[in-house]
Amino acid sequence: MDYSSEKFLTGRLLIATPQMGDPRFVKSVIYICVHNEEGAMGIVINRHVDFITFSQLLNELHLGSDDADDKKVPIHYGGPVEANRGFVLHSNDYAHDSTLHINKDFGLSATLETLDSMAHGKGPTKCILALGYAGWGPGQLDEELHANGWVSVPGDPSIIFDTDIQNKWNEAFKRLGFDVHMLSEDVGHA
Within a domain: 25: yes
Say which CATH number the domain at 66 has.
3.40.1740.10
Task: List the helix and strand counts (H, then E) for the chain.
Answer: 5, 9
Q: In the predicted model, what is the mean pLDDT of the chain?
A: 89
58-65 long-range contacts, CB within 8 A, separation 24+: 58/115, 58/119, 61/112, 61/115, 63/112, 63/115, 63/116, 63/119, 64/119, 65/119, 65/120
Q: Give this prediction's pTM.
A: 0.89
The 3-state DSSP class for residue 20 equals: coil
Within a domain: 94: yes
Within a domain: 6: no
Q: Among candidates 114, 109, 103, which has minimal Cα distance to 155? A: 103
Whether 99 shows a pLDDT value over 90: the answer reads yes
Within a domain: 79: yes
What's the pLDDT score for residue 21? 85
Whether 188 shows a pLDDT value over 50: the answer reads no
Q: What is the pLDDT of residues 19-36, one digit of tens each?
A: 898 999 999 999 999 999
What's the pLDDT score for residue 189? 42
The Cα–Cα gap between 173 and 104 comes to: 23
What's the pLDDT score for residue 2? 38
Domain count, the chain: 1
The 3-state DSSP class for residue 144 equals: helix
Cα 40 to Cα 23, 80, 119, 152: the distances in Å are 19, 14, 30, 14
The Cα–Cα gap between 46 and 167 comes to: 8
Within a domain: 189: no
Within a domain: 190: no
Within a domain: 7: no
Q: How confident is the model at residue 190 (pLDDT cuts 50, 70, 90)?
A: very low
Q: What is the pLDDT of residues 138-151, one digit of tens each?
A: 999 999 999 999 99
The Cα–Cα gap between 90 and 162 comes to: 12
Q: What is the four-CA torsion angle of 138, 139, 142, 147, rounded to 10 degrees?
A: -120
DSSP 59: H
Give the range of the structural domain holding residue 127, as residue numbers without chain letter. 12-182
Q: What is the pLDDT of residues 52-89, one digit of tens each?
A: 999 899 988 988 666 666 667 899 999 999 999 999 99
The more confidently predicted of residues 21 and 5 is 21
Within a domain: 69: yes
144 CB neighbour count, 10 Å cutoff: 19
